[in-house]
Amino acid sequence: MPPNGLIERLAEPNPYETQFKVARDFAELVLRNAPPAAVQVIATEKGYFVDHGIDHVRRIIDKLNALTSLLADPINIAETFILAVAAYYHDISMLIGRQGNENPEQVREEHHIRSAEIVQMLNDEHHLNINTHELDIIKKVIKAHRQIALSDLPPSQRIVGFEIRTPLLGAFLRIADSCDCDRSRAPKAIFDLFYDYIPECSKEYWKAHFPVTDVTFERRRASIVVSIDFSGGIRERVEKYRISNLLKRKLESELKSVEEVFQNYNIPVVNVDIRDFDTHNLIELSSPPAFENAATVILCSKSEKIDDLVNVVTPLVSISLEAVPLVIEFRPVEGPLFADTGTRIDVNRLDFMQSQLKEMIGNDLRGFESQAFEKIIIRRGIVG
């Protein structure tokens, strides 16, 4: 049986065996040593970005193996070489090539273009020995891993008897890269170690990875399935629901950008599902939880009032038979989003809770950006 993985295929005798070994070995040297391997997740100096190093590459290759296995017409050895090299070098400019006092955020924003340029430079300086035509497509695939329209790529290119489905390779790399968003991408130990140095704007991005235990592809559901650990108190659970919602929307956006390509090649990945790590149940974020009775607090999308809400409801938590689940509903723009708080409130104290919420938050307060209103509504009976 022929090997299934990209790297395993390229380890077998093939026309690209030597070219790939040189490219892989040089990439691993850079990714391991610039910056030092122990802190490679920090990447571009003061940017304190999440992992763009060798472990990120290996996780992406694992995801590429899963995605390419969905093809009815498997990728050929030339496509395998191009995709594997693009995976190794797609983030190379996050680690080398920064100029002077350049803003790290600008580097991140342009890194798909810069990485393609660096691969060309490395080939010109004979650190790599990739043939001109293959290199041209590798650069296209690297650029395609974010932002650019796949429709701008040539639908098919041919090299010495092999068809190269350039948009398909770009789509695979884009989705594999987007799906590397579990906790291993942003190790909490590193976050804690460098907490005082990480910019506030980056901390939220790091935290968004912590509850994500896995991201995989399920053919039978035609889905990207994101596993989330929803455990914790009210505040933690609400934040994890909000993270799940934002992540689901981001991945849906990425899927939309590759939709036509995936349809052309019958790739069965069209949805994004959220799965509860503890229960293995799928979570429908935009619909009310399936409780017969519940108390639902409806807020606008701004979350500044969550701490006030937690302070009000925490003393009212009950395990009595008359207690009902507490659900928080966020309205657009972030919603509709329904967060099961994992908490139950005594039904006899709902009126008191409502009065306290009105006092602490108000019936009709303007949102943080004066673009929405916060309303507190207690629903009794079936949530619908």
Is 283 strand, coil or helix? strand
- The arithmetic mean of pLDDT across residues 281-290, rounded, is 93
**What's the total number of domains in the chain?**
2
pLDDT in tens, 175-225: 999 999 999 988 888 888 888 888 787 888 888 999 999 999 999 999 999
Q: What are the backbone dihedrals phi and psi of residue 15, each rounded to the nearest 5 degrees, phi first?
A: -65, -20
Residues 236 and 100 grouped into a single domain: yes
Cα-based angle 89, 91, 93 (whole degrees, multiple of 5): 95
Range of the domain at 358: 288-374
Residues 42 and 110 grouped into a single domain: yes
Confidence category of residue 40, pLDDT binned at 50, 70, 90: very low
Write out the two tokens for 348: 């006899």
Residues 47 and 190 grouped into a single domain: yes
Residue 380 counted as domain residue: no
Residues 90 and 220 grouped into a single domain: yes
Residues 260 and 208 grouped into a single domain: yes
* Last residue in a domain, options 218, 242, 276: 276
* Last residue in a domain, options 276, 301, 320: 276
pLDDT in tens, 336-379: 899 999 999 988 888 888 888 878 876 433 222 222 234 444 44
- The arithmetic mean of pLDDT across residues 53-62, rounded, is 91
Tell me which of 72-81, 84-93, 178-187, 200-209 is least confident. 200-209
List, in order, residues 6 or more apart from 235 with CB less than 8 Å away.
Answer: 306, 307, 310
Residue 178 counted as domain residue: yes
Residue found under tokens 């694992």: 62
Question: Residue 46: is its pLDDT beyond 60?
Answer: no
Residues 300 and 354 grouped into a single domain: yes
Residue 228 counted as domain residue: yes
Residue-level pLDDT at 39: 36
List, in order, residues 6 or more apart from 9 with CB less than 8 Å away.
Answer: 2, 3, 77, 80
Residue-level pLDDT at 98: 63
Residue 382 counted as domain residue: no
Instruction: Output the DSSP codes for 328-366.
Output: EEEPTTT-SEEEEEEEEEEGGGHHHHHHHHHHHT-SSEE
Residue-level pLDDT at 101: 67
Question: Residue 48: is its pLDDT beyond 80?
Answer: no
Residues 58 and 181 grouped into a single domain: yes
Residues 187 and 208 grouped into a single domain: yes
Mean pLDDT of the chain: 85
> CA 318, CA 352: separation in Å to the nearest integer?
14
SS3 content of the chain, % helix, strand, coil (to 5): 50, 15, 35
pLDDT in tens, 112-160: 888 999 899 999 999 999 999 999 999 999 999 987 899 999 999 999 9
Residue 384 counted as domain residue: no
Is 190 strand, coil or helix? helix
Which one has a higher pLDDT value, 175 or 328? 175
Residues 347 and 310 grouped into a single domain: yes
**CATH number for position 96:** 1.10.3210.10
Residues 161 and 301 grouped into a single domain: no
Residue 31 counted as domain residue: yes
* Last residue in a domain, options 276, 297, 329: 276
Write out the two tokens for 170: 């770009």
> CA 276, CA 375: separation in Å to the nearest integer?
29
- The arithmetic mean of pLDDT across residues 37-59, rounded, is 63
Residues 315 and 208 grouped into a single domain: no
* Burial tier of 336 (Cβ tally within 10 Å: 0-12, 13-18, 19+): middle
Give the CB-side neighbour count of residue 324, counting CA atoms within 13 A.
Answer: 22
Residues 38 and 91 grouped into a single domain: yes
Residue 281 counted as domain residue: no
